Structure 1
Amino acid sequence: MTTMSAPRIAGVATAGYGLAVALRPGVLLGPCGWSDDNTAGRAVARMAGMRDLASGLAMAVAARPNTMRLAIAIRVGSDLSDAVVLGRALRGRPQRAKAIAATVGWGLLCAATIAATRTG
């Protein structure tokens, strides 16, 4: 097991979630209380899913610690921006707290793996 296995596992999980959203936008839209029958909503969800797939794969295959830290930073930044965007979009709706918790939770999970990239 390599010293960077925790970020790789988080990367694979992120990529898996991204693929699920890209293929079935309702995975993201449903918990937010949005209909899956909106073409624009599905497109935006698919874009987020593809971004998560790409950033997760970057974490899963990064060859060096510096590259891994960059991939983690991109992943965490994406999650934090999702928290802001979804928090604003869901203002006044019951799904808001859950959406913010989920996005911040993914970000914190990935951020916590950065310790595994330290050597020595």
Structure 2
Amino acid sequence: MLAKPCGLSEPDGSVSAPTGLLVRAMGARDTAIGTAMLLAKTPSASRTAAACRIASDLSDAALFGAFLPDVAARKKAAAVAGGWGLLCALAAWAAD
């Protein structure tokens, strides 16, 4: 879901073990932060969890946008990650 659009898959569509590990780690990070957002019991906890998600998405956008091997993939991945960060920021702002 992440490797192919980012240009990190092999020509046959397979993903190397290191890339697969990275993708699974990012998925675990996003799942943990999302769970914290859903289970936050106080406004402060909710804002903290949202800030973690926003920071993660914006750092993904910056890194993918700067370092993916394919220019088209860089633009697409940076836009998608940045879009998720913006959406999360707007949701956090609206919740306040």
TM-score category (smaller protein): 0.7 to 0.9
> Does the Cα contact within 8 Å between 1:59 and 1:72 map onto a contact in 2?
yes
Separation in 1, partners of 2:15, 2:48: 36
Q: Structure 2 length normalisation: TM-score? A: 0.88
Q: 1:53 aligns with which of 18, 31, 35?
A: 31
Q: Which amino acid aligns with 1:53?
A: T
Unaligned runs of 5+ in 2: none
Q: 2:45 aligns with which of 46, 60, 67?
A: 67
Question: Equivalent pairs: percent with the same residue?
Answer: 42
Separation in 2, partners of 1:65, 1:117: 9
Higher relative contact order (CA 8 A, sep 6+): 1
> Does the Cα contact within 8 Å between 1:87 and 1:99 map onto a contact in 2?
yes
Deviation at 1:76, TM superposition (A): 0.2
Separation in 1, partners of 2:65, 2:86: 17
1:26-83 CA deviation, whole Å, 9 max, x = no partner?
x110111221330000001111010000001111111111100000000000001101
3-state DSSP of counterpart to 1:28: coil
Unaligned runs of 5+ in 1: 1-26
1:78-117 CA deviation, whole Å, 9 max, x = no partner?
0011011111222552111110010000000100012243
1:77 corresponds to 2:55? yes
Q: Structure 1 length normalisation: TM-score? A: 0.71
* 88-97 or 102-111, larger mean C-alpha shift: 88-97
Separation in 2, partners of 1:37, 1:91: 15
Q: CA RMSD in A?
A: 1.3
2:71 alignment counterpart = 93
1:38 alignment counterpart = 16
